Amino acid sequence: MEEKNEKKGFFERLKSGLSKTRKLLMTDVDDIILGSKQIDQALFDELEERLIVADVGPSFTAELIESLREKVKRKELSSPEILRTALRETMRDILLKNEAPLVIPHDKIYTIMAVGVNGSGKTTTTGKMAHNFKEEGHQVTLVAADTFRAAAVEQLDLWAKRAGVKIVRQAENADPAAVVYDAMRIAREGKPEVIIVDTAGRLHTKTNLMEELKKMKRIMEREMPGAPDEVLLVLDATTGQNAIAQARMFQDAIGVTGLILTKLDGTSKGGVVVRIAKELGIPLRYIGVGEKIDDLQPFRAEAFVDALFETNH
């Protein structure tokens, strides 16, 4: 019962978090739909324009408009009101393909590398993940490999205390690769647990950053074959389509196995979730809709679309 209430609580927060996106997207779409007497080219043109403004992306918009045109041809869309349902279903179908919550085994050492640019909420997200995994009964160790930003190490230390998990850290400006090496060595000698490495988001140049991340990844692989099990890219939803460019950059450089989208509560660009799913095809693991320790939750396509279209759970 408590779990059901928790889920309902998060759904309400998700709904409230998506309110800016819903206002931008759905108010416009409803205005177009309700203001139209018939489905014609002018309606499609207007709908297309509003969807692109909402950051759902040209690729999704084109697919949606095409699918609506087909429905009109087959006489499945007789009135503009049915368009809303068709929009919802198309969005849900695309997002379902990318819904892939993380399933972590309890009987092995599971390694996660958290990457992303500074300001994306990476360190905070790492702390929240540690809290979630601890709640699921895992032993967790955080690794402070963002050694260039003193605040990042202190912040992660604070999260480790809040979540009640261990932390591996070294002095400020230590070599991040050395911190990772230490953590892997300690892990090899211990029991099954989840190891989350918080990495730097910015060095002097982007090339340096990527080389540093590759080095850390190589050390993880060398010390523990198969590591990292997961490379999670943390993206800030408020950056809209910039998040797509970041995802491509990290994907090309080190390979990304899953995405975490943060700060959905602070943006009207929540439509970027749809764009990310459509254009990148990388599993969406978690979404964050606030500052609280439990505001990071596994991504669920159905709940996301329901919250966007204000369907009650």
Residue predicted with more confidence, 230 or 266: 230
Sequential DSSP letters for 113-182: EEE--TTSSHHHHHHHHHHHHHHTT--EEEEEE-TT-HHHHHHHHHHHHHHT-EEE--STT--HHHHHHH
pLDDT at residue 101 is higher than 80: yes
pLDDT at residue 31 is higher than 50: yes
Residue predicted with more confidence, 2 or 168: 168
Tokens of 300: 């669920």
Mean pLDDT of 108-118: 94
pLDDT at position 269: 79
pLDDT at position 2: 47
What structural domains does the chain harbor? 2-96 (1.20.120.140), 110-300 (3.40.50.300)
